[in-house]
Homo-oligomer: A and B are copies of this chain.
Amino acid sequence: METTKILLDDNEIPRQWYNLLADLPNPPLPPLGPDGKPITPDMLAPVFPMNLIEQEVSTERWIDIPDEILQILSLWRPSPLYRARRLEKALGTPARIYYKNEGVSPPGSHKPNTAVPQAWYNKQFGIERLTTETGAGQWGSALAFACSLLGLECKVFMVRISFDQKPFRKLMMQTWGANCVASPSDETQAGRDILAKMPNTPGSLGIAISEAIEQAVTDPTGKTRYSLGSVLNHVMLHQTIIGQEAQKQLAKAGEKKVDAVIGCCGGGSNFAGLAFPFVNDKINGAEIDIIPVEPESCPTMTRAPFAYDHGDTAKMTPLLPMHSLGHSFVPPPIHAGGLRYHGMSPMISQCIVEGLMTPRAYHQLKCYEAAITWARTEGFIPAPETSHAIAAVIDEANKAKEEGKEKVIVFNWSGHGLMDLLGYDAYFQGKLTDYSLPQEEIDKGVEELKDLPKPEVHKTGKW
């Protein structure tokens, strides 16, 4: 019998998070406040608890993971590393394809890797209630799960289009005791303002973030904070447990060299989680293609400028140095809701600026096709977001076949698609179409960014 999956025991779970900020030749520029000056930790205090703000700005290479967090993570971690042998055979590729199965967590994705520590640090800080936004619902259900196990209240603003397309996600949140509403809602000023202008908007992550932040900072008790499932440094940090495990597992599988690291990329967290330990290898001389994959309909990394922009539509967040389609951008309603975000993690944006990562964009029909090939060979049904990674993996494996090269490809299978079957249904019924963002939409975003401060572009030219 050939090995299908490489497991690690509970006691082999990584005990520290890896902080790429300690190793990036040029770390991201600082976030800027409304005055155009770098913000101070104090300015974030109404939004996040100070212990997480400290993580956000830390440049320590290794940060210890508290025991109680490890104990909860061990409900599904270490996650298995699979060898996709059946796909390899179907493609006839000499490549060896490995994937981290992050679908094994209770909410079904990588998101609880950061939801649990975020809830834990908030609780330590005396916070009793968390607010957040969610796109596809992966993040909202992850935070609902984490809050449930740690005894915090949880309020989720879910992007309208996903709220309607994915009714089961809000039921998951409810099962874990959270309160989930469609965004824009009439519960916040930000939501009411948008609804007045665009009553039929499908919503966006940017809008939902505005609503969640508003509810957190306006709570008179001071016991509410906001929690973000992607983009920020501390979120990337928490996810690095994925890549650390993968490296141990690849060593266990006897692999000495990795040629390509792939993941889908919306705000960046699942991709960073797998990729950052490998980025460090690349900084230290390893030859690895590190490939984040996004949808053609929301081409933040491949077509948007590197700029300072707000993380949300109502401009409540500081300005972040990142690839951005503009904070007013409302992505078309494709089924991979988790990839519909106008911005990108500053750390990932900086990696792209440096040339450490080579992003690419795919159309959704190709991704659904890849997802079905996957389900019918490897068995597990992937999330529409994950299918973007799979499409790139298949392309890389076919390239290896053409070149006759025994490449090692590792990717993050970021979540299962069992909550996303209406997207599959639409695909089967031929209702989905591909959509390339017209240049004028990109231009509109650029126009919006025009009057904001411009980030300096730091790049060593080494990669």
A interface residues with partner B (beta carbon < 8 Å): 1-5, 7, 9-11, 13, 67, 70-72, 74-75, 82, 86, 104, 106, 108, 145, 148-149, 168, 171-172, 174-177, 372, 375-381, 418-419, 421-422, 424-425, 428
Can you list 18 A-B pairs with a CB-CB distance of less than 8 A? A1-B10, A1-B11, A7-B9, A75-B379, A86-B149, A104-B104, A106-B375, A106-B381, A145-B379, A148-B375, A148-B376, A148-B379, A168-B421, A175-B375, A175-B421, A175-B424, A176-B375, A176-B376
Q: Are A71 and B2 in contact (CB under 8 A)?
A: yes
Cβ–Cβ contact A171 & B425, under 8 A: yes
> What is the CB-to-nearest-CB distance from A46 to chain B, in angstroms, rounded to a whole number?
29
Q: Give CA–CA (A67, B4) in the complex, Å.
A: 13
Chain B minimum-CB-distance residue to A418: B418
Neighbouring B residues of A4 by C-beta, 8 Å: 10, 71, 74-75
Of chain B, the residue at the smallest CB distance from A368 is B175
Known A-B contacts A10-B1, A106-B381; the reply to A418 vs B419 at CB < 8 A is yes
A149 touches B379 (CB 8 A): yes
Nearest CB on B from A416, distance (A): 8
Q: Are B378 and A67 in contact (CB under 8 A)?
A: no
Question: Which single residue of chain B is at the shortest CB-CB distance from A151?
Answer: B376
Main secondary structure on chain A at its contact with chain B?
helix
- Chain B residue contacts of A377, Cβ below 8 A: 149
A379 touches B421 (CB 8 A): no
Instruction: Tell me the bound Cα distance from A175 to B379 in angstroms.
Output: 10
Min CB–CB distance A193 → chain B (angstroms):
31
Nearest-CB distance from A439 to chain B (Å)?
Answer: 35
Contacts of A378 in B (CB 8 A): 75
Which residue of chain B has its CB nearest to the CB of A375? B175
Known: A104-B104, A171-B425. A70 touches B379 (CB 8 A): no
Chain B residues lying within 8 Å of A5, measured Cβ to Cβ, are: 10, 74-75
What 7 A-B pairs are tightest by C-beta distance, nearest first? Answer: A171-B421, A106-B379, A4-B74, A168-B421, A106-B380, A148-B376, A418-B418
| A174: nearest chain-B partner, CB-CB | B428
